[in-house]
Every structure is written in structure tokens, then in C-alpha cells.
Amino acid sequence: MIYGLDLLKIIGYPNVGKSSLINSLKRSKAVGVGSVPGFTKVVQEVQLDSKVKLLDSPGIVLSNDPEESKESVLALRNSVRIEKLEDPVGAVHLLVSKLPQESLTNAYDVPRFNNPDEFLMQVAYKKGKLGKGGIVDFNAAAIAVLRDLHSGTIPYFCLPPLVNPRARRSEEEDAPSAVRIVENQDVEMED
């Protein structure tokens, strides 16, 4: 509470709709929005009503995996502009390591591949990302794949972590009697 006002901070990954949420709550264009990562550069304060203030913030990206290139992680999270990547091929290598191969072969209608470079080669031929003499332009193919990822052409998501069965039992015990968690994670209503 600041000076009798409730302050709500809107935080999250870049380019996920934080500013759009604020505009929706305000029912007007209170803050600027853009489809490029890093559009919101500074914290912005918006008065929602007489008692609630919203803070729009630039995106926050956390990564604790030392094995992954920070640039590649940021690229997969749509947190940097693709055109500014030093190594778009590295980001696609990371993407290929995280996705089931079927997702990529289905998205591009290409045959199975043995490694990320072979995948990029197939995409380059499919999308015409070739240099002089028909030589594969790996960077152009990687940028095309990353654009497809960001536009939703490639289905990319992570499932929530599995819950410890003991912890799950305690959650079920704490749940209201009208709602019980069933094994396949659906919700069942009792009469």
C-alpha cells in the first residue's frame, strides 16, 4: 500500500502481453504495445481507478542453466530481436534439443533428420534460403525457423513439472469437499 493506494506490479517474460493486459484493464490505450521484444523500456505507472495503481515493467528473463547460451535462451523466449542475434543457428540447435522431432518434421513437412544442421538444411531447401550456387544459408534458415517459432507455426511449450505423489495427496486433502483432484489431472465435481 502506497499512500492509501494498492499497487499492482505486472511482471513477466518479454513480449507476453503485460502492457496489453494493462490496456485491457484500463479499457483504453494507457501504455504503448508492440510485437517486438523490448518495446517497454522503463517502468510505467497507470492509475486504474481511485484506489488501484498498476506498474507496467520491461520483461524479465531468468535462466539458471549454465550449459545454455544466454542469447539462445533469450531467442527461444522471444526476448531479443531475431535480426540482432549473433548466432541464430545456435538458438535453433537449442530448440531442436528441446522439441520432439515430430513437431518440427510436421511443421515443415520434412523427413526425419539426424542433427540440427541437417534439419536446417532441409528447411533451407524448402524455404529457398540458399546463397550463390545453391549453397545453404544456415543463418537465413535459422532466422526463418525462429520467426516461425515466435509466430506460433511451431508448437513449443513445456509441460508443468510432475507433482510428488505424497504432495499430491496432501493437496487433495486440503481441497474443498466439492472438488477432488483425480489422477489424470481433470477436476471432478461431486453432487
Cell of 187: 477436476
**What pLDDT is attached to residue 183?**
43
| Gap between the Cα atoms of 93 and 72, Å rounded | 9
| Structural domains of the chain ordered from first start | 6-56 (no CATH), 70-151 (1.10.1580.10)
pTM above 0.95, yes or no: no
| Gap between the Cα atoms of 43 and 47, Å rounded | 13
**What pLDDT is attached to residue 69?**
62
Cell of 7: 499497487
**What pLDDT is attached to residue 105?**
94
Q: Exposure pattern of 129-157 as b/e (b: 16+ CB <10 Å)?
A: beeeeeebbbbbbbbbbbebbbeeebebe
The rounded radius of gyration (Å) of the Cα atoms in the chain is 22
**What pLDDT is attached to residue 185?**
42
Q: List average pLDDT for each run of 10 residues in the chain, which is 191 residues long.
A: 69 80 86 75 82 81 64 81 90 92 93 96 94 92 93 76 62 48 42 42
User: Cβ(71)–Cβ(90) under 8 Å?
Assistant: yes
| Gap between the Cα atoms of 11 and 58, Å rounded | 7
**What pLDDT is attached to residue 181?**
40
**What pLDDT is attached to residue 62?**
66
**What pLDDT is attached to residue 123?**
96
Encoded amino acid at 130, one letter:
L
| Gap between the Cα atoms of 188 and 71, Å rounded | 43
